[in-house]
Structure 1
């Protein structure tokens, strides 16, 4: 079997190169973790790569797209309600189950998933493949991430019991604003100068986007391996974590579909609501975790997010491909 045919087969199950690289990065960190000076250099490099990532997000997002999406208030409110109200509540209900089999840090990480904003690139891509409202998805995912800079840490601080030791230092929110929101705002200001250039070189921005995530994952799991993460959580616990993440994803997806139908949305808006309202951002979640949980068991805290991210990509890819196939059959018929 050729490499291209193998990739096409894996893609049918939502396993693309990016997902394989994420798993490979964890394996690399397990075998060759960064230590000492290398870990320190990696930490500083990661900071600036994250700032560059959100600068590019700001420079790429057009004002026209934001305005077009904002006109669809029903879609935007539905995504915000799913992301920052229903999702955290569902995670809070499932969290006690996670603590039966998982360490406390991983249980906190499971709740952290529910507080995060929507993913940007993936939700937009899946909406486009399925034939959904792309402009609405772009706006919903972008607003979710901007609001999440402040709301996600506040939600986590509100929902996590203080006695667990995983509370949020108020100063961490300002640090997140500096590293995430400020570069985004600067990118928006520079858009007139860089917008056309970035549109012509989309592949380069995708490399920065996914490369930064892989770098953050490597840094976090390197620290975890040095501190003995795989001695704390084994294969059985990982299987339980995966099942809990699938349950959470299924419940939120069901809620997203019910919300879309109950509010009388058309098919395009329902699909945008499904993908933007049921996915969580690794690109936003990892940088915020590095600030919020500095000096704590960060690898265990972000492990549930990693598992959930991989599962949401696989499930959404399968759904998007089937919906695209149905649309093709209808168009041809």
Structure 2
């Protein structure tokens, strides 16, 4: 059984600390400024780290890459909207309130993960280069598509922002540092590659600080009076249901396009993931600080569910493909 990963444990500790000792007043304002700087640095290093040829290579298998984007930015949002309409209209008193529904819908608009999509595709003996390309393109496209889709799906974004305003805000705070990192890649890239652990620690540390700051604001606004343990369980069940539906749908999409087993695996894992690393910074840009804590709760729960479920699935695929390989007669 897969245990909680250290990163998720750090996020849980940040939530507990914010619940017991939330930052307030001037300290909260200072931390929000620190968060802005950390997020800018995180996307700058991402730009410096990403090789340009990976972006160019990603457009070769356009059917596979397009289907991953379709799952991530069309199937998920439509699924979220459908479930929201179903429960709000047929079962108006069921499940949680609109704040958590906003978090579910925001989750549906996020790009795929990078590290876990690649790692799980590798464990499953799928097409790893295709997974690298798909995850990369998804994250680059998400900088523009996530705030736009969030505005469309929610009907409003943040404190009265239009979808276009949200795209501009995300572009200013996330895309510009990323582009600057690409421009300076020749000089910064080798440093990033030599200090991978330090950069990874900086990235994850940034997200932990964002989560602590967001939940501090949410605690001050009374988040734990609005969200009960039962609500968290309901979110977990809904997250699990969405993940299961997309895993099944992406599996049959691969079969319908006559993709190879390796390509189908890459499609399934890249198309079903949602990025915590991109989602938390984007939420802090798109939504008011007091709303970020409750908005990212469904995403944090989904993050652990997707890791646990897809690790089991990847191991199953790896064993099955291994048996198929050994059963083939040698020439």
Q: 1:201 to 1:131 in 2, by over 3 A?
A: farther
In 2, Cα distance between the equivalents of 1:230 and 1:166? Answer: 25
After TM superposition, give the deviation of residue 329 of structure 1 in Å: 5.6
After TM superposition, give the deviation of residue 14 of structure 1 in Å: 5.0
In 1, Cα distance between the equivalents of 2:6 and 2:324? Answer: 30
After TM superposition, give the deviation of residue 166 of structure 1 in Å: 7.1
After TM superposition, give the deviation of residue 170 of structure 1 in Å: 3.2
1:274-321 deviation digits (Å, cap 9, x = unpaired): 121111112222222222212552222221122112211222222233
Within the candidate set 273, 277, 285, 2:271 is matched to 277
Match of 1:318 in 2: 312
1:236-271 deviation digits (Å, cap 9, x = unpaired): 111111100100111011111111111111122112
Q: How does 1:27-176 map to 2 (within 5 A)?
A: 27-96=16-85, 97=87, 100-161=94-155, 168=162, 170-176=164-170
* TM-score calculated relative to the size of structure 2: 0.89
Q: 1:198 to 1:331 in 2, by over 3 A?
A: farther
After TM superposition, give the deviation of residue 37 of structure 1 in Å: 2.2
Match of 1:193 in 2: 187
Asked whether the equivalents of residues 159 and 288 of structure 2 are also in contact (C-alpha less than 8 Å), the reply is no
SS at match of 2:23: coil
Within the candidate set 201, 218, 226, 2:220 is matched to 226
1:38-61 deviation digits (Å, cap 9, x = unpaired): 211211111111111111111111
Note if 1:304 corresponds to 2:293: no
Q: 1:272 to 1:101 in 2, by over 3 A?
A: same
Asked whether the equivalents of residues 159 and 287 of structure 2 are also in contact (C-alpha less than 8 Å), the reply is no
* TM-score calculated relative to the size of structure 1: 0.89
Match of 1:204 in 2: 198
Within the candidate set 15, 23, 48, 2:12 is matched to 23
1:69-118 deviation digits (Å, cap 9, x = unpaired): 22111111011110111111011111243773212111111111111111
Q: Structure 1: which 5+ residue stretches go unaligned?
A: 1-11
SS at match of 1:193: helix
Moved more, 247-256 or 167-176: 167-176
Asked whether the equivalents of residues 59 and 184 of structure 1 are also in contact (C-alpha less than 8 Å), the reply is yes
Within the candidate set 231, 236, 244, 1:242 is matched to 236
Task: Report the RMSD for the aligned CA atoms in angstroms.
Answer: 2.3
Within the candidate set 238, 244, 254, 2:248 is matched to 254
SS at match of 1:94: helix
> How many residue pairs align between the two structures?
322
After TM superposition, give the deviation of residue 234 of structure 1 in Å: 0.5
SS at match of 2:142: helix
Asked whether the equivalents of residues 87 and 114 of structure 1 are also in contact (C-alpha less than 8 Å), the reply is yes
